Each structure stands twice: as C-alpha cells, then as structure tokens.
C-alpha cells in the first residue's frame, strides 16, 4: 500500500519524509525529475528504490499540495 511506504523518523535525515527502508528523501525524487532525469534513470541510479517507492514519493508530494495555493512569480523577486 502506497501510504505505508513514506515514513519520517527524527533520527533519519532530520525527520524528512523518506521512502521506507531507504535513506532516499521524497524531495530527492522530485529534484531528480526537475533536473530532467527519467523515471528509469532514477530507478537505475538508486538501486534500493522500487517502482512502488517511486510512485509513493510522487503520490505523497502531490497530496502535500492538494488544497494549497501555489504562487508563481515571474521575473525578479526582491
């Protein structure tokens, strides 16, 4: 079940949400995608990351933004 694959422990990476059984933070998956890496490249680069863990990270991230207003800024931000 996807919900059980994301965990947070204050003793691991200062409590950042990680994929259970790894030290891979959800944010790392998002950063890899944002940098242009493909799903296959990420999975190949992190052998402890499973398809289910990858999906759980994306699901977790998406749920964090549900109901949130995201402001986008164009140009220079003071």
Question: What would the DSSP string read from start to end of 7-71?
Answer: E--TTSGGG--EETTS--BHHHHHHHHHTT--HHHHHHH-TT--HHHHHHHHHHHHHHHTT----
Classify 26 as helix, strand or coil: helix
Q: What is the pLDDT of residue 74?
A: 58
pLDDT tens sequence across 33-58: 999 999 999 999 999 999 999 999 99
Reply yes or no on whether the pLDDT at 77 is more than 50: no
Cα–Cα dist 34/38, whole Å: 10
pTM: predicted TM-score of the whole model, two decimal places: 0.80
pLDDT > 70: percent of the chain: 81
Check residue 4 and report its DSSP letter: G
């Amino acid at each position: 079940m996807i919900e059980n694959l994301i965990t947070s422990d204050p003793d691991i990476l200062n409590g950042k949400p990680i994929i259970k059984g790894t030290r891979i933070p959800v944010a790392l998956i998002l950063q890899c995608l944002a940098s242009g890496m493909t799903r296959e490249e990420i999975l190949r680069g992190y052998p402890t990351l499973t398809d289910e863990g990858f999906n759980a990270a994306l699901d977790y991230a998406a749920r964090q933004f549900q109901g949130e207003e995201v402001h986008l800024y164009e140009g220079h931000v003071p």
